[in-house]
Structure 1
Amino acid sequence: MSRPSVTRRTAIAGAVAATLAAGALPATSAGAAVPAGPNGWVTSTIARMTLEERVGQLFVQNVYGSDATTPDARNLPLYGVASPAEVVQKYHLGGVIYFAWTDSVQNPPQIAGLSNGLQTAALTQTSKVKVPLGISVDQEQGVVTRIGPPATQFPGSMALGAGRSTEDARTAAAITGQELRAMGINTDFAPVSDVNVNPLNPVIGTRSFSSNPQLAAEMVAAQVQGYQEDGKVSASAKHFPGHGDTATDSHVAFPIITHTREEWERLDAPPFKAAIAKGIDMIMTAHLSFPALDDSGNPATLSKPILTDLLRNELGYKGIIITDALNMQGVRDLYGDAEVAVRALEAGADQLLMTPAMDEAYAAVIGAVKSGRISQASLNAKVRRVLELKVERGIVANPMVDPAALDSVVGTADHLATADAVSNRTTTLVKNDDSVLPLATSGKNILVTGYGVTTTQILADGLTQAGAATTVNQTGTSPTDAQIASAVASAQGKDAVVVTTMKAWDTAVTDKRAGQQKLVKALQDTGIPVIVVATRDPYDIAYLPGTATYLATYSYSPVAIQAVAKVISGQVTPSGKLPVDIPTKDDPNTVLYPFGHGLGN
């Protein structure tokens, strides 16, 4: 574990006192009791915390509302109080997590204001101790991006894997982390450390860097450094012990991983080991069964053999173990929500993410400590890890952020230019049989159709800037026969057609996705040159027979779509290489395009 020891950090109390004196936080008499050294602060704080306060540090919850103090009725059924600040104070929360659907993330000034308001709530409640919050978000980039523009956008993990540059991976994490920290967010639940060895994986896919364990490990290691060393936010490797080989989504069901222990060592473990070697602050658990590691039938989140025996003891991990969201069905099938919370802590978790029954779970954990089911020593060890991390990440010394400084950090011209340059190195040209690409776009009439209102428009705008006259006919992820006929009619008289797909392979979820396959074939039957752009999973080509020109972006992020427009028009030479094998449609063991394939550079 290379994470710096708290004993090497000094004068935490002085920094806190300076913050209070500056008026950023309301001063209280409790602040004066903080010992001078960080180790002393942690020890003294634990000693002065009530049982309820210590248990509260183990919970990280979502709260509804765009600011801390305005009541939001959506909090009432979950927490019995209305404002986010009241939620924080009622349970002495250790952390909160932001989502767009909770109205937590709207724009940088609002996010910074919410962060400051929640920190004020944590630090002004009636208590002998003042402990700031961990404030977290899932800003993986790519398909899981909670904060959009003006924050800098990157195309996501698999795109970075296609680019093969650990420097780019670290840079993307560094910029993401710096911008999050400026908004008051100190924890990013990234990087995804799963190795996507199953092309039919419905929940990981392009969130993974690669199907190659070594490439994934290199990228994970680089991003841990980018987030923590450069961006100054905690990173969280997820989802341990590995969610890459499943065709089941743990949000709605209970996956089972059938790898042997030897296969786990070879396929799943390398990225997590790399993260641990770089001093990862957090590791997030997976809600799945892994019989080779624990044959009890319990999900890994509730498995002592996996979290304590394997992760903590065998791999020597000393940071925080946090559960994946406890409102996911993959962890709720066997036990009630209150029992799940207790069992996760018994298994070795330190923090519980998004329990859906807070009153019951909070009371159950307190009861488990009082009964001795969870020992005082175990509870204190978990709280110590949480508090030490808050010291190490500078959250104790500097819990507040300056909204006036946002423009100098978030979405700066330099950051945006870097994101463009990184994205330009990720597009993969998989097939170009008729040498359609690069396309001389100047003066050409081009139809842009397929998935995504925003996606098709951004792509058309990019081609227009390259001199083309473009028409947009967006058909979505499930085009009807009427929409397909409309697109074919729009193609008449055009010099070329660009059609975007999004998980066109995924007919197992809904046969409506087969409409994308029908759309591509109908356009190909016109005889007009058709360029297929897979805007998410690169596997679509196996389900699109007859495709002669095929590009993979791994992401529908605007930067990725802008990059592919430049590739089509010849402004950028495609240099990405497949970070996964693309198997044939009918046989997952037969490779259609291998890892490392890519035309262009």
Structure 2
Amino acid sequence: MHHRTSRRTLLAATAATVAAAATGVVGISGAAQATGPSSDSGLKRLIARMSLEEKVGQLFVMRVYGHSATAPDQADIDANLAEIGVRTAAELISTYHVGGIIYFTWAHNTRDPHQIAELSNGIQRAGLAGPTPLPLLISTDQEHGIVCRVGEPATLMPGAMALGAGGSRSDARTAARIAGAELAALGIRQNYAPDADVNVNPANPVIGVRSFGSDPRSVAALVAAQVKGYQSAGVAATAKHFPGHGDTSTDSHTGLPSIHHTREQWAELDAPPFRAAAAAGIDSIMTAHIVVPALDPSEDPATLSRPILTGILREELGYDGVVVTDSLGMEGVRTKYGDERVPVLALKAGVDQLLNPPDLSVAWNAVLAAVKSGEISEARIEESILRIFRLKSKLGLFRDPYVTHAGVDRTVGTRAHLASADRIAEHTTTLLANTGALLPLSRRSHRDLLVVGADPASPSGTTGPPTTTLAGAFQELGFSATALSTGTAPSKARIAEAVAAAQGKDAVVVGTYNVSATSSQRTLVSALAATGVPVITLALRNPYDIAQLTGTGYAASLAAYSWTDVELRAAVRVIAGRAEPVGRLPVPVQRVDDPERTLYPVGYGLSY
């Protein structure tokens, strides 16, 4: 009876919204907007009217395949049936009452801006058509740099470590404000960025250039700047991965990393960016699937640790915003407990949002059973729902969850936004070596160039292989440039082909990618340098490549921190003297023969 009354009341309140949505019009105007609860008392009344099943659903943020909420391609329908047991996003919402959806490129959610906007609106229509009409919180990982889900024609900004090299809080805030405005125009209102990890371990396989750097104070300042930028644009920022993933040598996607910092080291190295994010009013914080024995002797993953999430994050740091897990499909959170226990333990630890479980049915039913059995009180999950609803209310989703095509055209990939991205990127490229003042290249003496090197798998911010993008950027500046992909592990035959192609060239640019002591990329650089043609190396990802290239004979070396188009174009402008190399290392580069000694310290970088 109580639930039926709620349904009539809320459906009446949102009737205009649902009617507008049913017309297929993208967006609604003032007269058609639903009015939703904004105060805690109103939100609590809304929660009290929900069924237990709806309450449990609101805790989950789930993936779903398809470009459309109701009419995805057949292959995506098949994938949804296989992994989730539903056909479409709309069925997912009606079956499980999920509170959020996460977009992925590989799930075919992000083909182009107008399609994304239509998908977002279709998801919101499905949410408002439920027993209790509720908007969804749509999220994605748009860190920029090497982790992007929405590609061109959206504006792609330099990634975190590139911004760390630039060192400008203003640039970091502007990049986040522009990125946030474009996400909001697409209906994506929660971004899992910025990365607040302090990358003190050069061998970190999962963070690296996703971090702003290795200095906690600098990272904290840039994190705070991005929080303000995103949230000023109407998008919830998410600092990740608490309590800090920067000193791991294991990837939590494939294993369970351990961090052996003392409590004092954690407070000095890992905590400052999260404290700064909380002080900046961040809307959400993401947990890490890592073990930190000094913070929790039980050695449970932080995602499942009450001492870490409630004791430290909630009580010590005073954070009362939304806490979201990292993906529950990652091995780091699945190694110690079964998939049916993980979501229950996460809630008991202090989590609010359960992100992307591998089997939603198992996770959803496990939480439902835990509430029915009394292991988790209904009051406990209502605490989390209130935090989630506060965020939805702050973002205006109860008033109007829809976006418009006009808003997409007015906001996404505008000329002004693209110009800002290029300007910010020009502040990031770092010049590490410049023997004989080879750089900047002159079109008079170095007109004919060969571009070779690694062409790693492209993130969303790229339009083609790095060698092709670099050569094209040189050509736009009046150089003659030929591209030859040699890969991340060039063969002897490929190296010989590159050496032959270098004959008669004025200079060779080599894009390197995570060079190791045994990498044949070292052989490539040495063989090219032996031709007598000046060799310029450009690190496409981690700036540590230069340490492995010592003694190979390169003449100049730079770090770009990513192989997205905006960063590669900026690096070319620096090489060609159209921009100054003002970027400075945000991490130290250690010597290969003596890792305790620093080859290039934090803050190092040459100028012209």
Give yes or no for TM over 0.5: yes
Check the 8 A contact 1:34/1:41 in 2, yes or no.
no
Matching of residue 568 in structure 1 with residue 579 in structure 2: no
Matches within 5 A, 1:301-312: 301-312=303-314
> Residues 278-289 of structure 1: matches in 2 within 5 Å?
278-289=280-291
| Correspondent of 2:204 among 197, 201, 218 | 201
Q: Of residues 120, 124, 138 in structure 1, which corresponds to 2:125? A: 120
Q: CA deviation at 1:16?
A: 7.0
- One-letter amino acid matched to 2:82: P
What are the equivalent positions in structure 2 for 1:204-353 lying under 5 Å apart? 204-229=207-232, 231-353=233-355
For 1:456, which of 456, 464, 467 is the aligned residue? 467
1:518 aligned residue: 523
Q: Which secondary structure state, in structure 2, belongs to the residue aligned with residue 226 of structure 1?
A: helix
Structure 2: distance between partners of 1:584 and 1:564? 24
Q: Aligned with 2:544: secondary structure?
A: helix
- The aligned amino acid for 2:528 is L
Pick aligned residue for 1:484 from 492, 495, 498? 495
Partner SS, residue 56 of structure 1: helix
Q: Whole-Å Cα distance in 1 between the matches of residues 297 and 307 of structure 2?
A: 9
How far does residue 36 in structure 1 lie from its aligned partner after superposition?
6.1
Is contact 2:197–2:211 with CA below 8 Å preserved after alignment? yes
1:25 deviates by 6.1
Which residue of the partner structure matches residue 367 of structure 2? Answer: 365
Q: Is the 8 A contact 2:99 2:136 kept in 1?
A: yes
Q: Give the C-alpha shift of residue 587 in structure 1.
A: 3.2
**Alpha-carbon distance in structure 2 between the residues aligned to 1:219 and 1:15:** 45
SS in 2 for 1:246: coil
1:407 paired with 2:414, answer no
* TM-score, scaled relative to structure 1: 0.93
Q: Does the Cα contact within 8 Å between 1:462 and 1:562 map onto a contact in 2?
A: yes
Change (3 A) 1:383 1:517: same
Residue of 536, 555, 558 corresponding to 2:562: 555
Relative to 1, partners in 2 of residues 1:34 and 1:49: Cα closer, same or farther, differing over 3 Å? farther
Q: What's the counterpart of residue 593 of structure 1?
A: 600
Aligned equivalents of 1:166 and 1:18: distance in 2? 44
* 8 Å contact kept, 1:16–1:398: no
- Indicate conservation of the 8 Å contact 2:174/2:229, yes or no: yes
Q: 1:374 to 1:498 in 2, by over 3 A?
A: same
**What is the CA deviation profile of residues 25-53 of structure 1, one whole-angstrom value per residue up to 9, with x for unaligned ones?**
689xxx99977653343112101000110
CA distance in 1, matches of 2:139, 2:38: 26
Q: What does the per-residue CA deviation read over 1:211-247, in whole Å, with 9 as the maximum and x for residues that have no partner?
A: 0001000000000000002x11000000000000011
TM-score computed with the length of structure 2 as normaliser: 0.92
Instruction: Report whether the alignment pairs 1:136 with 2:147.
Output: no
The one-letter amino acid of 2:598's match is V
Q: How far has the Cα of 1:586 moved from its partner?
A: 3.4
Specify the code of the residue in structure 2 equivalent to 1:70.
A
Residues 1:42 and 1:449: Cα distance change in structure 2 (over 3 Å): same
Out of 532, 547, 550, which is 1:545 matched to?
550
Given the alignment, which residue of 504, 512, 529 partners 1:493?
504
Q: Do 2:198 and 2:219's aligned partners in 1 also have CA atoms closer than 8 Å?
A: yes
Cα 1:586/1:288, change in 2 over 3 Å: farther
Contact 2:38 2:390 survives alignment (8 Å):
no
Match of 2:428 among 426, 443, 452: 426
**Partner residue of 2:388 out of 365, 386, 389:** 386
How many angstroms does 1:403 deviate by?
1.6
> Which residue number corresponds to residue 8 of structure 1?
none
**In 1, distance between residues paired with 2:253 and 2:22?**
39
Offset of 1:382 from its aligned partner?
0.6
582-591 or 379-388: which moved more?
582-591
CA shift, 1:343, in A, is 0.6
Closer/same/farther in 2, CA of residues 395 and 37 from structure 1, 3 Å limit: closer
Which letter maps to 2:322?
A: I
Contact 1:237 1:284 in 2 (8 A): yes
1 CA distance for matches of 2:443 and 2:36? 68
Asked if 1 retains the 8 angstrom alpha-carbon contact of 2:589 and 2:599, the reply is yes
In 2, Cα distance between the equivalents of 1:150 and 1:281?
27
Partner Cα distance (1:433, 1:154) in 2:
31
Matched, 1:535 2:540: yes
**Does the C-alpha gap of structure 1 residues 165 and 14 become closer, same or farther in structure 2, counting only changes over 3 Å?**
farther
Structural RMSD (CA)? 2.0
After superposition, the C-alpha distances for 1:506-550 in whole angstroms (9 at most, x for unaligned) are x6xxx6xx1222211211222210000001110000100233311
Q: Is the 8 A contact 2:36 2:399 kept in 1?
A: no
Distance in 1 separating the partners of 2:576 and 2:35: 62
Which residue of structure 2 aligns with residue 39 of structure 1?
A: 40
Aligned residue pair count: 577
* 1:175 equivalent in structure 2: 178
CA pair 16-233 structure 1, distance change in 2 beyond 3 A: farther
Q: Distance in 1 between matches of 2:302 and 2:492?
A: 44
Instruction: Show the counterpart of 1:472.
Output: 483
